[in-house]
Amino acid sequence: MKGILKKWKVPLAMAIIYLVVLVFKRETGEASLAVAGDYAKEMILIMPAVLLLMGLIEVWIPKESIQQWLGKGSGIKGMALSFALGTLPTGPLYAAFPMTASLLKKGARISNAVIFMGSWAALKIPQLLVEIEFMGLGFAALRFILTLVAIVTSGYVIEYMMRDPASHQWLNVPADEQQLQKQRG
């Protein structure tokens, strides 16, 4: 009960604000309500489909298999794979941190790690569908292309800047922790 209240305290506060505004500044309140209503309608139309699509992706392409496929292939193939696999997961970016770390520990290139995280963050497929709906195809397509270029470029620049092995000493985790990782993976 307490948890529910905590989760919903912002919407609750919002409802109270709306009530207050409606009572004291009726016209503004009605205008706000109209905008919010339109906006809610759009969300209700698109969200169930997007969430269900994300559900299907999560069920059929679990994160474990993504992790398995990652790190295979090198050169252009490795890069394309990092990009493509990054567009599939549905979780927030911080879910990618441990995956990327184990990837690097297995010897993946830093550029591919950056590309994977970048496409996970910015180029996810369900996210793109929502973007096209609300921002237009032109906006979404242009942002996609520019972001892809930026991710690949910064991937290689970061790899070059971290070419000194001393700059990623964190890779040398204690043996027992690596063992743990193996058991988990």
Closer to another protein by Cβ: residue 40 or 80: 40
> Are the CB atoms for 105 and 181 separated by under 8 Å?
yes
* Cα–Cα distance, 139 to 142 (Å, whole number): 5
Closer to another protein by Cβ: residue 84 or 104: 104
Closer to another protein by Cβ: residue 85 or 116: 116
How near is the Cβ of 82 to another protein at its closest, in Å? 14
How near is the Cβ of 45 to another protein at its closest, in Å? 6
How near is the Cβ of 26 to another protein at its closest, in Å? 11
| Dihedral sign of CA atoms 86, 89, 94, 96 in order | negative
Closer to another protein by Cβ: residue 82 or 90: 90
Closer to another protein by Cβ: residue 84 or 158: 158
How near is the Cβ of 75 to another protein at its closest, in Å? 22
How near is the Cβ of 80 to another protein at its closest, in Å? 20
